[in-house]
Amino acid sequence: MGTTRVQGQRDVALSMLPFRGISINDATSNTAAVTVYASDSGILFINKFASTTTYTLPAVADCEGKIFFFMSYVANDLVIAGATSVMVGGETSAGIVGATVTGGGTIGIWCAIIGDGTNYFALPGTGTWTYST
């Protein structure tokens, strides 16, 4: 049996100010392929692009304690790509590690992605999110 968890104990430290700003990807000045950087931790990415948009996460090794938020303002698929390191289920589930998670084209869907340096963990909010390897 493991040790008892104490107040404030954590395995990965997140920023004291996890929400740092908003980045809007719109139909007039942005793109269907957005690169996310480790320094973007704490930013809410709002997708207003007029077609399926893919957000590519940085190397997971650079993202211990990082958190990224994604939300769709339009009824188009929102794809979050993280190589082969996005966890979307428990460790006994079949196919839990995916290359991408995709929000199914509904206005208002959102998802948070948290890195621990080894894997990304997808915390879907609203909408239907699927994964693929």
- Residue 7 in domain: no
| Helix, strand, or coil (residue 86) | strand
Per-residue confidence (pLDDT) for residue 24, from 0 to 100: 83
Task: Please calculate the CA angle 130-133-129 and round it to the nearest 5 degrees.
Answer: 10
Q: Is the pLDDT of residue 1 over 50?
A: no
Q: What is the mean pLDDT of the chain?
A: 79
Among 53-57, 99-103, 106-110, the minimum mean pLDDT is found in: 99-103
Token duo for residue 71: 């939300």
- Residue 13 in domain: no
Q: Which letter, b or e, does each residue of 95-119 get, where b requires 16 or more Cβ atoms within 10 Å of its Cβ? A: eebbebbbbeeeeebbbbbbbbeeb
Task: Please calculate the CA angle 14-44-98 and round it to the nearest 5 degrees.
Answer: 75
- Residue 2 in domain: no
The domain in which residue 28 lies consists of 21-132
The CATH number of whichever domain residue 57 belongs to comes to: 2.60.120
User: Tens of pLDDT along 4-45?
Assistant: 656 555 555 555 556 678 888 887 767 888 899 999 998 888
- Residue 65 in domain: yes
Contact 86, 80 (CB under 8 A): yes
State the average pLDDT over residues 96-110: 82
Percent of the chain, pLDDT > 70?
Answer: 71
- Residue 10 in domain: no
* Model pTM score: 0.80
Task: Please calculate the CA angle 124-118-126 and round it to the nearest 5 degrees.
Answer: 5
- Residue 59 in domain: yes
Contact 27, 48 (CB under 8 A): yes
- Residue 28 in domain: yes
State the average pLDDT over residues 78-99: 65
- Residue 68 in domain: yes
Number of domains composing the chain = 1
